[in-house]
Amino acid sequence: MNKQEISMALANSLLQIKAIKLNPANPFTWASGLKSPIYCDNRITLSYPQVRNFIREEFTKMCLDKFGKPDVIAGVATGGIPQGALVAQELGLPFIYVRSEKKSHGMNNQIEGIINSGQSVVIIEDLVSTGKSSLLAVDALREKGAVIKGMLAIFTYGMDVATENFKSKDCILHTLTNYDSLIQKAIQENYVRENDLESLMEWKKDPQAWSDARM
C-alpha cells in the first residue's frame, strides 16, 4: 500500500473500532474545555490485535524509511508507551518512555529507561493535537544529550499550530493517518453526513472559534 492507502485504511479502522468518534451536532468537551466535533482515544487500538499489528508494522516501516534505524525508541506517556514498546520489540531496540514532567517522588525521573548522550532516538506518539505535550518529550531527551531523529504518531488533527510548534523545535513529524483522511473516509462510509463537512473543516481551521460559537 502507498502512503494514502495506508492513511485511509487506518482511518477506516479507527472509525470502525470507535477509537475516533465524530459528532458535529453534539460536540465533545475536551479536558481543556474546548468543544470539538471529534474525540480520539487511540489506546483502544490495543484491544484489537489486527489494528494493533497494522500500526506496529507500519510504524516500523515508516521509522526505517524516514529515519533509518535509531539507537533507541522512546514512547510519549501515556498513549505512546505501548505503541513505542511494540516498535522497539519489532526492531530489537532499547525502549524508554518520557513523561510530561518529572515525578514528584522517588528518583524524580522524567525519562524511564536508559538513554546516553549522543544516542539517536525516534519518538512514538499516539496523537498530535497542538503538539505542545508531545514536544515536551523532545525537550527532555535533548536535555540528556539525545539526538532526535524525529517523531511518529498514529494520528494528527493537522492543526496549523502543531506545524508551527514542530518547526520551532526543529523536529520532524510523520503520521500514519490524519484528520483529512478521516473526514474523507467518514463521509464515504456514512459515519457523518456530507452537509457536516463544512462544520468539520471549520473546526480544523480554527478550533477555538468553532468551540466559542457553541458555548
pLDDT by residue (tens digit) across 196-210?
999 999 999 999 999
Q: How many residues does the chain have?
A: 215
Q: Cα separation of 52 and 132, whole Å?
A: 25
- Could you tell me if 147 and 118 are in contact, meaning their C-beta atoms sit under 8 angstroms apart? yes
pLDDT by residue (tens digit) across 115-166?
999 999 999 999 999 999 999 999 999 999 999 999 999 999 999 999 999 9
How many angstroms from the chain centroid is the CA of residue 178?
A: 9
Q: Residue 43 burial (CB < 10 Å; 0-12/13-18/19+)?
A: middle
Domains of the chain from N-terminus onward: 3-194 (3.40.50.2020)
Find where cell 531496540 sits.
93
pLDDT by residue (tens digit) across 162-173?
999 999 999 999
pLDDT by residue (tens digit) across 95-110?
999 998 876 676 678 9
Angle between helices 197-205 and 179-188 (to 10 degrees): 170
Find where cell 526543529 sits.
170
Q: Cα separation of 152 and 172, whole Å?
A: 9
Q: Which residues contact 171 (CB under 8 A, 6 or more apart)?
A: 135, 138, 148, 150, 151
Partners of 174 in beta bridges: 152
Distances (CA, A) of 49 to 14, 34, 156: 13, 32, 22
Q: Cα separation of 69 and 214, whole Å?
A: 46
Cα first-last separation, the chain: 42
φ/ψ of 100, rounded to 5, equals: -70, -25
Cis amide prior to 78 (ω within 30 degrees): yes
The pLDDT of residue 103: 66
